């Protein structure tokens, strides 16, 4: 009886894969077309994902044509922003500067300024050159708040009191530790949101954003938590975002990822 009980989860898993196979086959057929699924492919490295994307068209986010994609929606506050707002409300009074890494054209400043007093915060957005060029042009035209600073290189930035990365980690093309190492010293506080994690090995897929395919990293959860600790940070808070969990349609057997957020405080001593 015990042996049969042990096989039941495996049989259920096999049944799920059989049910998913037709949909996965359709998703794979759509992947190289003009309207692929939002996520397609599963790769062991970012380099493999980039090579696959290059065969399909534009690669990555560094294209001015992508600046408008979902911009209005990103300027609105979503349910998963509220944990970040909670910690900003606690940490901003003892902080002067904030670096919004991967902050697009200041969408979080626009969204959060409706709920928080950001008048005393030196808010700087760091993003890819094409996005920053577009942001600066729009700011000069009066279309973006004048209070936002924009940079496309970290070597011109001082260490911020708060590092914000909302939706940054899955697109970052270097290890997170390398990003932190570019500052003169580690930030005191870090707020990360929409970090894609899974129980299995780290993998990369391709996300369709506008006309481009963008490598999207899904981290192994345990390795990611070890990375946080190795950087010298304590997890003050963490949360999950069920609405942003997903299965790769072309590779459903890889299982469902989770989307998580973290409030990190530099460990004392």
H helix runs in the chain, sequence order? 2-30, 46-54, 71-74, 82-91, 107-112, 129-140, 176-181, 221-230
The set of residues, in sequence order, having a beta carbon less than 8 Å from that of 178 and lying 6+ positions away, is none
The residue extents of the domains of the chain are: 49-266
- Residue pLDDT tens, the chain, 269 long: 444 555 665 555 555 556 555 555 444 444 454 566 889 999 999 999 989 988 877 666 566 666 666 788 889 999 999 999 999 999 999 999 999 999 999 999 999 999 999 999 999 999 999 899 999 999 999 999 999 999 999 988 999 999 999 999 999 989 999 999 999 999 999 999 999 999 999 999 999 887 788 899 999 999 999 999 999 999 999 999 999 999 999 999 999 999 999 999 999 75
* Residue 151: closest CA among 183, 129, 121, 184: 129
CATH of domain 49-266: 3.40.50.150
pTM across the whole model: 0.84
* β partners of residue 106: none
């Amino acid at each position: 009886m015990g042996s049969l009980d042990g096989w039941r989860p495996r049989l259920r898993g096999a049944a799920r894969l059989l049910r998913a196979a037709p949909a996965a086959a359709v998703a794979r057929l759509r992947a190289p077309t003009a309207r692929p699924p939002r996520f397609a492919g599963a790769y062991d490295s970012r380099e493999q994902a980039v090579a696959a994307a290059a065969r399909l068209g534009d690669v990555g986010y560094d294209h001015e044509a992508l600046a408008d994609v979902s911009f209005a929606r990103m300027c609105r506050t979503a349910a998963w922003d509220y944990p970040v707002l909670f910690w900003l409300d606690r940490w901003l009074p003892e902080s002067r500067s904030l670096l919004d890494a991967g902050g697009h054209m200041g969408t979080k400043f626009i969204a959060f300024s409706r709920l928080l007093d950001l008048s005393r915060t030196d808010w700087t957005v760091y993003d890819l050159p094409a996005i920053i060029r577009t942001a600066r042009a729009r700011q000069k035209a009066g279309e973006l708040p004048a209070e936002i600073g924009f940079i496309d290189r970290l070597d011109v930035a001082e260490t911020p009191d708060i590092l914000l990365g909302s939706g940054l980690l899955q697109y970052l093309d270097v290890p997170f530790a390398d990003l932190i190492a570019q500052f003169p010293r580690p930030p005191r506080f870090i707020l990360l949101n929409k970090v894609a994690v899974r129980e299995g090995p780290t993998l990369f897929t391709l996300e369709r954003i506008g006309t481009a395919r963008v490598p999207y990293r899904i981290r192994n959860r345990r390795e990611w938590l070890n990375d946080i600790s190795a950087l010298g940070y304590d997890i003050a808070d963490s949360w999950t975002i069920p609405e942003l969990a997903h299965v790769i349609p072309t590779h459903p057997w890889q299982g469902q990822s989770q989307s998580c957020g973290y409030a990190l405080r530099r460990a004392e001593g």
